[in-house]
Structure 1
Amino acid sequence: MTCPLSSNLYEERAAGFIGALQLFNLPVHKQLFFYQQLNPEQTLSTMRKMFAGKMKPDALFVTSDRNAVAVVQYAKENGISIPGQLRVIGYSNDPITAVISPSITTIDQFPSVFGDRLVQTLLEMLKQGYTTVYSPPVVTPVELIQRESG
C-alpha cells in the first residue's frame, strides 16, 4: 500500500519492495499493489477492498507508518489478528509505532543522517556551482525495526 507513484520517494520504496521480492525469488503480483493518497480514510477504504474478496492478504507493507496505524485499527475493528492473520510493516519509525498495540514493525530511515547528508550535498552543490540536477544520488541507510506486528 503506497502513495501514487508521482513522487520519487514512493517510486523508490515500491522499487525496493519489488527488488526484495525478486531477490528471494518471490512472485511479484502487481494487482496486489494499492496506490492511494496516504491518509487514514483512503487506507480504510483500501482495506475494505482488500478484505472484500475471497483472497485476503496475510501481510502488508505500508509506505507510511501513519497509515500502518490505520491498518492496525481496521484489523482490530474487524477481528483480524495481528500478527496471527495479518502481518504489518510500516515505514519511517514514527514514535506511535512503538506504543500502539500491537506495536508495528517498521523501517527506520534515520532522519538525522539524511539531514546531515542533505546539508553536505547542498554545500557541495554550492561550492561546485551546480544549477541543475545533482548527481550521483544520495543514499542513506535504513534499518528494519522488528516489533509485534511482523
Structure 2
Amino acid sequence: MTKENAWQTCEKIFSQEPYPDGVFATNDTTAITILQYCREKGIRVPEQLKIVGYSNDPRTEIITPSITSVDQYPATMAERIVAALMELIQAKHPQAYRHSQEIIPIQLVERESSSGKNKTTKK
C-alpha cells in the first residue's frame, strides 16, 4: 500500500504478457503510482489499462487522466464510531452491551481512468 510497493508490483505485473487490462488498487496512492508507472512505460490509460483506486483522495480528481475511485465516506464512519463509543461509555451495564453492525454506503466515483467519463454511482 506504499508507492514503492506499488511500483515494484507494476514491474512484476508488466514484466511479461499478457498484461492486465485493468487494476483495482487497494488505495489511491497505489492507483496514482500505477498511473505514473504507465506514463513512464508508454501504457495508455484508459485505452490499454483501466485503473480504479480506493478512498477517493482529492488528488485523484485533479490529475490527468482523473482516477476512478471508491468513496467510503470516512467522516460518516467516524461519526458512527464515536456515537457507538459514547453509547458504550454511558451504558449503565457495559458488559451487557451488544455488538452492532453498521452499513455505510459507498460510492463509485467514475472518472477518466476507467471509462473516459466523469460520473458517480452509489452502491
1:134 Cα shift?
A: 6.1
State how many pairs are aligned: 113
Report whether the alignment pairs 1:146 with 2:99.
no
TM-score (structure 2 length as normaliser): 0.84
Change (3 A) 1:127 1:43: same
Structure 1 vs Structure 2 CA RMSD: 1.8
Identity of aligned residues (%): 38
Matching of residues 1-150 of structure 1 within 5 Å: 38-128=1-91, 129-130=93-94, 135-150=99-114
1:51 Cα shift?
A: 0.5
In structure 1, how many angstroms separate the alpha carbons of the residues matched to 2:58 and 2:106?
16
In structure 2, how many angstroms separate the alpha carbons of the residues matched to 1:124 and 1:139?
18
Return the letter of the residue paired with 2:5. Answer: Q
Q: Which moved more, 1:96-105 or 1:118-127?
A: 118-127
SS in 2 for 1:60: strand
Higher-Rg member (1/2): 2
In structure 2, how many angstroms separate the alpha carbons of the residues matched to 1:76 and 1:122?
45
In structure 1, how many angstroms separate the alpha carbons of the residues matched to 2:53 and 2:94?
35
Return the letter of the residue paired with 2:103. Answer: V
- By relative contact order (CA 8 Å, sep 6+), the higher-ranking structure is 2
